[in-house]
Amino acid sequence: MREQIEDFIGRGNNSGIPAWLDLPDPKGFRPKRKYRTIWISDIHLGTRGCNANMLVDFLRAHECETLYLVGDIVDGWRLRKGWYWPDAHNEVVRRILKMAHRGTRVIFIAGNHDEMLRDYAGLSFGGVELALEYVHTTVDGRRLLVTHGDAFDGVVLYHKWLAFLGDQAYSMLLRANIVFNAVRRRFHMPYWSLSAYMKKKVKNAVQFIGSYEEAVANEATSRGFDGVVCGHIHCAEIREFGGITYYNDGDWVESCTALAEDFTGHMSLIDWVKETGGHTIAETAAEEHAADKEATPEAVS
């Protein structure tokens, strides 16, 4: 995998713009919303749980001056076991590189699932800057620490084999989520995250999330920041801890959320499932086509 990454970085630094970057958006697509900054994380490209089509629609619908990729964008843990990379995952990469080509500053902060990229911090490829963490200054002057967040998870940091076992159980839940939503699609029902629902209902998970958020906020306080942006736990949130604001941008496996800063410095979460009703553009177009076909009377010869 290291050889593949080095080859990708090398090709991304070549001069010239490949033709496959310059693909048009679909006709009739909604006008783009513009933000100063957008944060997304935990896409987990290379896994079946990744909602790549929904993310592609999100990227098509938004513009920003700076895009932060806050870790676990590619799931190296899964790709080591077996290659899974459908066209939709290529399209996510293509969209991000296209944004970089068009002037968006893209900063990639590696997480624990794509930790192999931490060896390349300080380099850039295809206009994407690699970093271990970053300090973002909002338009109104607040300093935010941007980090994936796995360093605050004691299980991941100190007992990686336990983290692996926990990851296996979580993967089983995500596989159930895939099957569950496949059935829902057959009945033309929108996406709904079974795994996110279960995580909110399990007492131990709720307690862990609360402790994790507090630990991250305490670190930001000790380092003199006004706030912190992270991902890692797949739980989008904005919370105040004393004088510190904790932001978690969520994920694109369960909740399909992002964090955004507008041009006044206001920060908000974007819940893409709520905004779209859980349908992708392709699904909506197929349903509209089927409805039009049913409504059109057959010609009588």
- The whole-number average pLDDT for the span 112-138 is 95
Candidate CATH numbers 3.60.21.10, 3.40.1350.10, 3.10.620.30, 3.40.50.2300; the one for domain 2-12+33-280: 3.60.21.10
Q: What letter would DSSP give residue 296?
A: S
3-state DSSP helix/strand/coil % of the chain, to nearest 5: 45, 20, 35
Q: How many CB atoms lie within 10 A of CB 224?
A: 8
Each residue's pLDDT tens digit, 143-201: 999 999 988 876 444 444 445 445 555 556 556 556 555 665 566 666 655 455 555 55
What percent of the chain lies above the pLDDT cut of 90?
Answer: 53
Q: Residue 46 — left, alpha, or beta (φ > 0 → left; ψ -120 to 50 → alpha)?
A: left
201 vs 85 pLDDT, higher one:
85
Contacts of 17 (CB under 8 A, 6+ apart): 101
Q: What is the dihedral of CA 42, 261, 121, 61, to 10 degrees?
A: 60
Q: Which amino acid is at 207?
A: Q
What is the structure's pLDDT at 280? 81
- The whole-number average pLDDT for the span 103-115 is 95
- The whole-number average pLDDT for the span 110-115 is 92
* Nearest CA-CA partner of 253 in 230, 277, 273, 274: 273
What is the structure's pLDDT at 106? 98
Rounded CA gap, 109 and 118, in Å?
A: 8
- The whole-number average pLDDT for the span 26-54 is 88
Asked if 38 and 70 touch (Cβ cutoff 8 Å), the reply is no
Rounded CA gap, 128 and 108, in Å?
A: 7
Domain boundaries, the chain: 2-12+33-280
Average pLDDT score, the chain: 80
Confidence class of residue 206 from pLDDT cuts 50, 70 and 90?
very low
Each residue's pLDDT tens digit, 264-285: 999 999 999 999 888 887 655 4
What is the structure's pLDDT at 153? 73
Residue 183, SS3 per DSSP: helix
Tokens of 10: 């090398």
Residue 22, SS3 per DSSP: coil
Rounded CA gap, 112 and 67, in Å?
A: 20
